[in-house]
Chain A
Amino acid sequence: MSLKIGVEIDHDLCTGHGRCYDLAPSVFTDDERGYGQVLISIVGPELTGEARTAAGACPERAILLKRLAADES
């Protein structure tokens, strides 16, 4: 069974550093203000590395990753 991860941005914490869409452009994009937006809210194994890199680089810790059980995806 392949691992899937749920991806969210806590917009109360995000202040627009833009690290997520710079480092993980397949998972996040930028909005008009330069704030991050989630492109793919459930990522499969091919993108979990990218999603984790982005979450690890966010100074505001605004990116929430959640391991999903197989039936949730």
Chain B
Amino acid sequence: MPASPHQIESLAGEPPAEDWRAIAATLGRYVRARTNRADVAEDVVQETLSRLVHQSRLQKLVSIYALGFRIAANLLVDHHRRDSRYVAEREEEPASQAPLPDRVLVGRQELAILNDALAAMPPLRRDVLVRRRLQGQSCAAIARDLGLSPKAVEKHITRGLADLHKAMPGNAVMRGGER
């Protein structure tokens, strides 16, 4: 089911077309950041949108953006799987949230930037990020292990992520309010 703006506008009670354009642009930005292949990115965004339209007609969505990002992530995994081995026509698609198994080579430059940004962080913050992202620990478990409050763990994660984001090329480094 292709999600043309015409179809989308034709139903009442749904987000207006401008919102769909914003959703499409946002998902596109996310998907392109995760894959180098333009054709895959195009496919994934189209399919995500059509599933979102379909879902929003079936039920009131808790969050259209949250659902969109989740669908797109799953579709990216599916695409990589399809590329990496022969898969016959499927009647139904199994869902998966596993990380992309063989994402090509990680850009060396990207890796170097992240390494530097992590090294520049307070060690505790780095440790919290390793536990959360790499070891999949819950915030509560991290708080317990490190003797922090859950709020402090949350702060370390959000500040750590913001630090990493700032370090990436193209993100204007505004050193205005250093902490």
Do A and B bind? no
- Give chain B's interface residues, CB within 8 Å of chain A: none
